[in-house]
Amino acid sequence: MNFVVGFILLLNGGNEHEAFWLMNAFGKKNIGNDPKFDGIDDFYKPGFPLIFSYTYIFNKLFKEHLPDL
């Protein structure tokens, strides 16, 4: 998670307060009325289930749109 926070700090000019609240919001389930967003808790569970799902989807989309690479 430190890599994510470090990246956010790089993007927002080092505003720690803003980075904290953004990460707090990412950790919550169902932000706003979007049922598709279920927080990032599964990224950090044992076995990293959400990371593997996202990696699989990314690779599939990448191959669909850039088949020659």
Q: What is the chain's alpha carbon radius of gyration, rounded to the nearest angstrom?
A: 15
- Number of compact structural domains in the chain: 1
Q: What is the pLDDT of residues 19-67, one digit of tens each?
A: 888 888 777 665 566 556 666 766 777 887 788 888 888 888 888 888 6
pTM over 0.75: no
**Rounded CA separation 5/69 (Å):** 32
Total length of the chain: 69
Give the domain extent around 21: 2-65
Task: Summarize the confidence of residues 7-12 as an average pLDDT.
Answer: 90
